[in-house]
Amino acid sequence: MTDVVALAAELLAIHSPSGGEGPAIDFVSRYLLGRGWNVHVQEVSPGRGNVWASRDGGGVTLSTHLDTVPPYIPPRLDGDKLYGRGACDAKGIAAAMLAAADRLVEQGEERVDLLFVVGEEKGSDGARAANHLPATSRFLINGEPTESILASGCKGSMRVTVRTQGREAHSAYPHLGQSAIEPMLRLLPTVHALPLPTDPVLGETTVNIGTIRGGTEANIVPGRCEAELMFRLVSDPAPLRAALETWAAGTATLEWGSYIPAQHFHTVPGFDAHPVSYTSDIPLLGRWGTPLLFGPGSIHVAHTDLEHVAVAELRDSVDTYVSLVRTLLTA
Q: What is the pLDDT of residues 28-84, one digit of tens each?
A: 999 999 999 999 999 999 999 999 999 998 899 999 999 999 999 999 999 999 999
Is 64:97 a contact under the CB 8 Å cutoff?
yes
Identify whether residues 189 and 218 lie together within a single domain. yes
Q: What are phi and psi of 314, to 5 degrees?
A: -60, -45
296-310 tens-digit pLDDT = 999 999 999 999 999
Angle subtended by helix axes 22-33 and 4-12, to nearest 10 = 150
Residue 136 and residue 180 share a domain: no
Q: What average pLDDT score do residues 285-294 get?
A: 97
| Structural domain containing residue 229 | 156-260
13 and 130 part of one domain: yes
Question: Is residue 120 flagged as an active site residue?
Answer: yes
Tell me the mean pLDDT in the region 9-29: 98
Task: State residue 58's pLDDT score.
Answer: 85
- 84 and 146 housed in the same domain: yes
Q: How confident is the model at residue 1 (pLDDT cuts 50, 70, 90)?
A: confident
Dist CA 8 CA 171 (whole Å)? 57
Q: What is the CATH number of the domain that holds 304?
A: 3.40.630.10
Do 80 and 38 belong together in one domain? Answer: yes
Same-domain check for residues 132 and 212: no
Residue of 109, 120, 121, 144 with catalytic role: 120
Model confidence pLDDT, tens digit, residues 125-135 = 999 999 999 99
Between CA 277 and CA 37 the distance in angstroms is: 35
Q: In this structure, are 247 and 309 located in the same domain?
A: no
Domain identity same for 106 and 198: no
Q: What is the mean pLDDT of residues 214-243?
A: 97
Least Cα distance to 215 among 159, 257, 174 occurs for 174
In this prediction, residue 331 has a pLDDT band, given cuts at 50, 70 and 90, of: confident
pLDDT reported for residue 300: 97
Which CATH number fits the domain that encloses residue 223? 3.30.70.360
Residues 247 and 201 in one domain: yes
Strand ranges (E), the chain? 38-45, 48-54, 60-65, 76-78, 81-83, 112-117, 139-142, 150-154, 156-165, 169-170, 198-199, 203-204, 206-214, 220-221, 224-233, 253-260, 263-264, 273-276, 290-293, 308-310
Domain co-membership, 11 together with 126: yes
pLDDT at position 120, please? 96
Do 147 and 224 belong together in one domain? no
For 92-116, the pLDDT digits (tens) are 999 999 999 999 999 999 999 999 9
- Looking at the structure, tell me whether residues 141 and 111 fall in a common domain: yes
**Count of domains for the chain:** 2
